[in-house]
Structure 1
Amino acid sequence: MLENITNQEQLLAIIVSDKFDRQGIHFFTPNELSQQLAYMHHPTGKIIEPHVHNPVHRDVFFTQEVLFIKKGKLRVDFYNDAQKYLESRILQAGDVILLVTGGHGFEVIEEIEMIEVKQGPYVGDQDKTRFIGISSDQANIKP
């Protein structure tokens, strides 16, 4: 239901299965991450008090992205910072993934609809380094 993908104690990603279901608020990320991910399940009538967010200066050095899989299946390939392939996972409708560090690539297994959320602003070619990834037959898919 919840899986942390790590490599040598470095958090690469957090996968929240569509089957995750717990009452209350559950943060999956440590406070120091620049992208926070939580699950909330409240009963009818629960009041979440109105609020505004205060201006707080934050320094963000690496983009972290969240993908919400609405439809289909997606293979996610994980790489370390040196662009070495590590392993893969299959995501399906309802799953959510936070990509924290390292590299990643994707192959659409079934026609996909997904929503991506990440920090901005986007700075074009300066934002990422592209590299050659694995082929489908090289994927080491973990359950």
Structure 2
Amino acid sequence: MIEQILYQDQLLAVIISHKFDKPGIHFFTPNELSQQLAYMHHPKGKIIQPHVHNAVPREVLYTQEVLFLKRGKLRVDFYNDQQKYLESRMLEAGDVILLVTGGHGFEVLEEVEMIEVKQGPYLGEQDKTRFVGISAESAKIPELSQL
């Protein structure tokens, strides 16, 4: 229900299936990542103590983004930093993905609604390098039994 996409010990992405359901707080990212991702499941009446976040200088070199699929089906294609295709995964409604490093592309397989969260400020085309991706026929998607 939680899958890390790795390439040569480099974390490309973390996928959290819509089926994940454990009580408490579960962080899926190491502390050093500039984008932190956690799942929280608390019972009625749980108090989360009020707090403020302190001003702490941080250096962010690469944009990391989180996608929340509200509806539909999406194929995610993963690439290394040299734009070489590696593999793909299918996401469906309720799934969440944190895109950490490397490249990525998407094909919408069923109309999707999704929410994206990433660091800012956004600098438009300065933020990314676009390249030609794979065709649908070239997608390598492992069977669920292999995950």
| Normalised-by-shorter TM-score class | over 0.9
SS of residue matched to 1:137: helix
Residue in structure 2 matched with residue 105 of structure 1 by the alignment: 105
Deviation at residue 125 of structure 1 after TM alignment: 1.3
User: What percentage of aligned pairs have identical amino acids?
Assistant: 77
Figure out how many residues of one structure are paired with residues of the other and give that number.
143
C-alpha distance in 1 between matches for 2:90 and 2:119: 24
C-alpha distance in 2 between matches for 1:19 and 1:125: 35
Residue in structure 2 matched with residue 114 of structure 1 by the alignment: 114
C-alpha distance in 2 between matches for 1:107 and 1:100: 19
C-alpha distance in 2 between matches for 1:67 and 1:125: 20
1:13-33 CA deviation, whole Å, 9 max, x = no partner?
A: 000000001110000000000
C-alpha distance in 2 between matches for 1:125 and 1:19: 35
Residue in structure 2 matched with residue 131 of structure 1 by the alignment: 131
Q: Is 2:62 aligned against 1:62?
A: yes
1:53-95 CA deviation, whole Å, 9 max, x = no partner?
A: 0000000000000000000000000000000000000000000
Letter of the 1:110 partner, please give it. Answer: E
Runs of 4+ in 1 over 3 A off after TM superposition: none
Q: Which runs of 5+ in 2 are unaligned?
A: none
Residue in structure 2 matched with residue 46 of structure 1 by the alignment: 46
Q: So what's the TM-score if we normalise by structure 2?
A: 0.96
Q: Is 2:2 aligned against 1:12?
A: no
C-alpha distance in 2 between matches for 1:34 and 1:53: 15
Residue in structure 1 matched with residue 77 of structure 2 by the alignment: 77
Letter of the 1:59 partner, please give it. Answer: E
Deviation at residue 141 of structure 1 after TM alignment: 1.1
